[in-house]
Structure 1
Amino acid sequence: MASRPKVLVVGCSSGVGLQATKKLLDKNEEFETVCLVRNQEKAARAIGEDAGKVKFINGDITKVETLEPACQGMDVVVCSVGATVGWRLPGSNANTPKNVDYLGVKNLSEAAARAKVPRFVLVSSMLVTRPWHPYALVLNTGFGDVLRWKLKSEKCLRESYKQQPNMSYNIVRPGGLTNKTGGKKQILFEQGDKGSGFITREDVATVVMACIEGKCAANSTFEIINGDKDGGLDAASLASLVSDQ
């Protein structure tokens, strides 16, 4: 039997990363799930009863030396990390938007590129290119320029993966995240960072799975929100995506 593709999830303990991990484990016969963690016990508690199906690798997105060994042999890297703090005194905490959302993602994308990981899926954010939007002003002011750092990390990923043969990326930019049950409302796709809206974390994870499975256009950046109509993910929406210029 052919070996299952290995998917490394970075950010598996909470949010979209946790939801994506659970969806991977639902397809355990198709994918091997590997998680990069700082605290294996915490991650296992978050994942729940299926944690025994996960291969855990100790590492930290802010520690470069732990990343390339973790990426070796992977078929896909999924990055869904986010800083848990906003403004702090310089040097008081490494878990800041600059160190996590930018430098950490930069470290990871460069390590994945060096390890020749075929596909990289990055969960970023809507509004990264519109700093004067009211919501962007609130986020950047209250959370350490988080959208500015996320935009820089997107550019680093494109730079790391561009013109690499047999390697591609997807950058998923969700709107405001909610904890509502996914799969209820249609998932709307946009490109160009023009709209705004909200989407469930579970629905973002559904789109991440589509990227893992190669259903999203290679080297594409796109925004997703929930619409008003009932539905979910449909093939036509995925087919509408175009690669970055």
Structure 2
Amino acid sequence: MSRVFVTGAGGRTGKLVLQKLRERSEFAEVKGLVRRQEQQTELGEGVVLGDVLSPESWQQALAGCTHLVILTSAVPKMRPTRNPDDPPEWFYEPGQEPEQVDWIGQRSQIDLAAQAGVKQVVLVSSMGVTKPDHPLNRIGNGKILFWKRMAEEYLANSGLAYTIIHPGGLIDQPGARRELLVGKHDQFMDDPSGPRTIPRADVAEIVVRALLHDEALNKSFDVVARQEGEGQPTSRWDAFFDAATPGI
């Protein structure tokens, strides 16, 4: 029986991962970490209230876990401008900037996972981490993709078994209906006519499957989805992970 700890469980993708793992109770016991009381109340049993920037608030919950799924990410806020014709201004709340959440917070999670004897860390990052000039880095001057890449490299060098997932743009559409494509180093971003998005439900399924398939170990990959009806929906997960090359 695996024991899985999911951080960022209160987010839209995190909730899906938590649900899918609960549906596989014969395979795993699952705990989740959320930042807000209303999220803990909504998600119920096994969900811990804490902050990745305060490891003492959740370190005990990680003890005894065999797997860690990291879904935490800084989230920009929008500040309306006085002139409605001007573009909105984006900012990060103090203490919740990408350097804090995506670098220091994820580094702390990786360190605690190593101390707890976790067997595998699954990190959900983002496509674009190899593109320094990507527009996401300019939002709120947060350099979010830069800090995500720093955390990825830290995990890859930690000695822990890992799976790093770089999804394309996340869309709220049903999962298990599309063919999923595996790539590396943002190759999908260099094809202006190719797919660049993926349903959150499919990302959640990839996370769960990565916990089940040894082919996913010590691999980092990009993933996007074709449109429905183009190709066959992905169902052979060993072949899916085999398409990813080792390392970051």
> The TM-score by the shorter chain falls in which range?
0.7 to 0.9
The secondary structure found in structure 2 opposite 1:57 is strand
1:181 is displaced (CA, Å) by 1.2
Structure 2 residue runs of 5 or longer lacking an equivalent are 78-89, 190-195
1:84-108 CA-to-partner distances (Å, cap 9, x unmatched) read 226658xx62111111111110110
Kept in 2, the 8 Å contact 1:210–1:216? The answer is no
Structure 1 residue runs of 5 or longer lacking an equivalent are none
CA gap of 1:74–1:159, structure 2 versus 1, over 3 A, is: same
* Higher Cα radius of gyration: 2
Partner of 1:96: 97
Q: 225-234 or 108-117: which moved more?
A: 225-234
TM-score, normalised with respect to structure 1: 0.84
1:40-98 CA-to-partner distances (Å, cap 9, x unmatched) read 432342x4xxx3xx412232101133343232100100001111226658xx6211111
Partner of 1:182: 175
Partner of 1:106: 107
Does 2:16 match 1:19?
yes
Matched AA of 2:31: V
The secondary structure found in structure 2 opposite 1:22 is helix
1:240 is displaced (CA, Å) by 2.1
Partner of 2:60: 69
Does 2:159 match 1:151?
no
Partner of 1:168: 161
Alignment coverage as a number of residue pairs = 225
The secondary structure found in structure 2 opposite 1:209 is helix
Kept in 1, the 8 Å contact 2:40–2:49? The answer is no
Kept in 1, the 8 Å contact 2:216–2:242? The answer is yes
Aligned alpha-carbon RMSD (Å): 2.0
1:215 is displaced (CA, Å) by 4.2
Kept in 2, the 8 Å contact 1:67–1:107? The answer is no
Matched AA of 2:208: M
Measure the CA separation in 1 of the matches of 2:56 and 2:175. 36
Alignment of 1:1-245 (within 5 A): 4-45=1-42, 47=43, 51=44, 54-85=45-76, 88=91, 93-132=94-133, 136=134, 138-143=135-140, 144-160=142-158, 162=159, 167-196=160-189, 197-228=196-227, 229=230, 230-235=232-237, 236-244=239-247
Kept in 1, the 8 Å contact 2:127–2:167? The answer is yes
Matched AA of 1:153: A
**Identity percentage of aligned residues:** 29
1:30 is displaced (CA, Å) by 1.9
Matched AA of 1:179: D
Kept in 1, the 8 Å contact 2:32–2:48? The answer is yes
Kept in 2, the 8 Å contact 1:170–1:218? The answer is yes
1:109 is displaced (CA, Å) by 0.6
1:185-224 CA-to-partner distances (Å, cap 9, x unmatched) read 1111112332131101110011101111134431110111
Matched AA of 2:113: A
Measure the CA separation in 2 of the matches of 1:130 and 1:158. 19
Measure the CA separation in 2 of the matches of 1:43 and 1:19. 15
Matched AA of 1:147: L
